[in-house]
Amino acid sequence: MTRTALAPRFMGAGKIELIERSVPEPGSGQLLLRVRANAICGSDRDQYYNGSEVIPGHEAVGTVEAAGPGTSTEIGTTGAVFLMDFCGQCRSCVLGLTNQCLAKRADMGFTHDGGFGPYELVHETNFFPVPNDISPVEATLLLDVMGTSGHAIRRGRLVRPDIESIYIAGAGPIGLGLLVVARLTLGEEIPIHITDLSPWRRRYAARLGGIPVDPGDAAAIGALPPSDIAFDSTGKQVARQAALKALGQRGVLVCVGHGETVTLDVSADLIAPERAVLGSEYFQFSEMSSNLALLRANRDALSAVITHTYPIEQLSDAFAAFLGGETGKVVVTQDSA
C-alpha cells in the first residue's frame, strides 16, 4: 500500500493548504529524507503569492529515512540539501563548478518537491552530512546564509584581493550573511556599510557589526567613503545603482540577488576607474566543507542571523513574519529539530 503524508500546497495569494501526498520510494542513488528544518528565503516569495505545483523549500535539512540502491549513506544521517541537483559529469561539474551544472536534474523546491513537506527525495550527490553536534536549525546556515554569501565574497576577491571597505545593499538574510561572513573572513577592522529600507533590519545589522545607512537619506549615502567592494542582495535596480556609485577605483560590484537590471556608463563606470561587475549564483558543493568548519568555529556569530523559528504547523505565520521585514533568517522546523 502506498504511504501518504500531509504536505503543504501553496495555492497563491498567501494561502497554504494541507493535502495528502504520496511518500516516494528512493530509487538508485537516491535518499528519502525526513525533513527536520527548512529556512525561508526571499526567493520563496513568488511561490507564496503566485502558487506552486511542487512543494517549495530550497534550504532544507533532513535525516535519511530510506536509501536506494547504490548509496552509502547510513540511515539516520542528518544533512543539508544542496539546491541544485547537479549531474556530476558535465564540463562545469568536472571542474567542481556544480552551481553552473550544464545538465541539472532539478532545482529542489522549485522544479521538484522541497523542504516544506515532511519528506524530500534527493540524490545522494547533493546531500551533505553534518555532525550530530550541529542542530538541524544551525545546519540551514550552511546553505544561503553562508554558502551564497561566502561564494559572493570569494567571487569578489578574485578581482579585488585587497579589500579594505565594504558596502552591502540589503540587510535581509543574505545581506546579514554577507555582513557576518565578511567580518569572520576579512577581519573585524574593515568598515561595512549596509543599507535597508527596514529600520528594524538596519538596527539589527548594527548589532551584528555593520554600519547601517538609510538608503532614502541622500545626504548620508552621498557622504559615504568609496568602497572597495559592494554587494547587492536585493535584486532591485535602485539598490544596484547606489551600490555601483558607492565604489571607488578598482571597485567590484557583486550582484547576488536575482531580479531587476543595472544601467552602466561603460567609460565612466567601468573603463576609467577599472571597476568590475560580477554575478554570483548560489555556491559550489565543495564549499560546504569549509563552511562547516567556519560554522563550528563561530556558531554564536553565525546563528545570530537566525532570529525566528516556527514549527511547521505555523508555516503561514512564519511567512507573514518574514515578509513583514522585521526578521533576519526565519527557519521552519519539523519534529524535534
pLDDT tens-digit readout, 58-95: 999 999 999 999 999 999 999 999 999 999 999 999 99
**pLDDT at residue 1, as a whole number:** 59
Taken in order of first residue, the domains within the chain and their CATH numbers are: 4-129+305-333 (3.90.180.10), 146-279 (3.40.50.720)
Q: Percent of the chain beyond pLDDT 90?
A: 99
The DSSP output letter for 215 is: T
Counting runs of H as helices and runs of E as strands, what totals does the chain give? 11, 17
Its pTM stands at 0.96
For 6, the 3-state DSSP assignment is strand
b (16+ CB within 10 A) / e for 52-62: bebbbbbbbbb
CB 36 within 8 A of CB 65: no
Q: Per the structure block, which three cell numbers stand in for 153?
A: 565574497
**pLDDT at residue 2, as a whole number:** 74
